[in-house]
Amino acid sequence: MGCSDPTGTPPTCTVTVDLRMVGGMGGNITSCMPDTSQDNPRRAAITGVATYVPDRIVTNAELARTLDTSDDWIVTRTGIRERRRGGPGETTSTMGAEAVRRLMAAKGLAPDQVDVLIVATVTPDMFFPATACLIQDQVGLQSTWGFDLSAACSGFLYALTTGAQFVASGVHRRVIVVGADLMSAIIDPLDRTTAVLFGDGAGAVVIEPVERGGFLGFELGADGGGGESLWLPGSGSRHFDDPQSFVKMNGREVYKFATRVLVSSAQKLLDEVGMTVDDVDVYVPHQANIRIIDHAAKKLGFPPKKVVVNVEKYGNTSSGSIPLALADAAKDGRLKPGAKVLMTGMGAGLTWGSSLIEWTEEMAA
């Protein structure tokens, strides 16, 4: 490890983290966190969560006024009743910044206590500067470095995994991970096959070293071959004959992928850490569609009381989905110290990821 001050806030340093990795076949990897009995890696945990959603609520009835759809169709096929939409001047960075401000206020964090800011998003304000830089500026985090990460609805879990390594390796003491998407910016309001599904929102968590518990393992994967099932052609450097400014989705393909991977990812991770579904107290799946969630929960064997669901009020908020659900679980008292929390997401890429945490608020010295 090349850092002389592992708990400070150097903006640059070189580090090699020696992780025990297993199962890296076919584009996916399952890993435990570093073995804390060896060398000096630390335990890392989510020690706080905060969210921001725009005030504006868009109901199914409102959508049905401009689209050939109905409240009944949307509720029956997706479980979604309403979603949030950003108002004038609201962007991914403003939503993310507000979630970070709320998190820092709740935790009593000063700006110079945040080392790294990782922003998972597929709706950056612009290609560059990174949304992380825009949030850094808006919140006044002068000594924080950061970057954006793009993995659609899996983005939060990819970013969480990345952030946890900085803390577990001892390189940094405090990482804030933001999942934020203003999906209304890239969804065709006249396409009923996508317009009813997505909403805007942001969540932020802070990762810190803890004495016990915290992250137990991750499972992450990607299948770029499925990229065209859910994509935004024409949004980058590649030339398309028919560029699109809105999301294109093959709903049935994504549905099949989602139901399969939510189960396999969770199962692989539990096998890797030597646990079963019975050991998990709180299941936080990506909030895309109640039918996908119910299918995964049933197949895995989770009783409804262990499953966190808020898709009815926010729709699919992409990178914001899991932190918004986690915050609801925190609010309703489910995230008790010692609780095992399993989060699984999937999305464009195609990508997927799971993370298992033993909830704890016991900070390491």
Residue ranges in contact with ligand ACO by CB under 6 A: 69, 73-74, 77-78, 152-153, 192-193, 196-197, 230, 249, 251-252, 254-255, 258, 288-289, 316, 318, 347-348
Q: How far is the CB of 74 from ligand ACO (least distance, A)?
A: 6
N residues, the chain: 365
Confirm whether 153 is a catalytic residue: yes
How far apart are CB 248 and ligand ACO at their closest, in Å? 11
Give the span between the Cα atoms of 106 and 300, in whole angstroms: 34
- Kindly name the residue from 28, 60, 289, 316 that is annotated as catalytic: 316
Edge-to-edge strand order for the sheet containing 340-347? 21-22, 28-32, 214-222, 351-358, 340-347, 282-285
Of all residues in this chain, which one has the CB nearest to ligand ACO in the complex? 347
Cβ nearer to ligand ACO, comparing 193 with 244:
193
Taking the least distance from each CB to ligand ACO, the nearer of 165 and 317 is 317
Q: Are 266 and 242 in contact (CB under 8 A)?
A: no
Q: 28, 60, 133, 153: which is the annotated catalytic residue?
A: 153
Q: Give the residue among 322, 313, 318 at the shortest CA–CA distance from 283.
A: 322
Q: How far is the CB of 53 from ligand ACO (least distance, A)?
A: 17
Question: Residue 207 or residue 254: which is nearer to ligand ACO going by CB?
Answer: 254
Distance CA 81, CA 78 (A): 9
Q: Is 152 left (phi over 0), alpha (psi -120 to 50) or beta?
A: left
Q: Which is nearer to ligand ACO, 69 or 143 (CB)?
A: 69
Minimum gap (Å) between residue 299 Cβ and ligand ACO: 16
- Would you say 23 and 30 are in contact if contact means Cβ atoms under 8 Å apart? yes
* 57-59 vs 82-84, strand pairing mode: antiparallel
Q: Is 13 a catalytic residue?
A: no
Q: Is 310 a catalytic residue?
A: no
Catalytic residue among 28, 60, 133, 286: 286
Would you give the end-to-end CA distance of the chain in angstroms?
A: 20
Q: Least separation, in Å, of the C-beta of 55 and ligand ACO?
A: 23
Nearer to ligand ACO, 197 or 357 (CB): 197
What CA–CA distance (Å, rounded) separates 210 from 263? 29
The two tokens of residue 198 are 């997505």
Which residues are identified as catalytic? 153, 286, 316
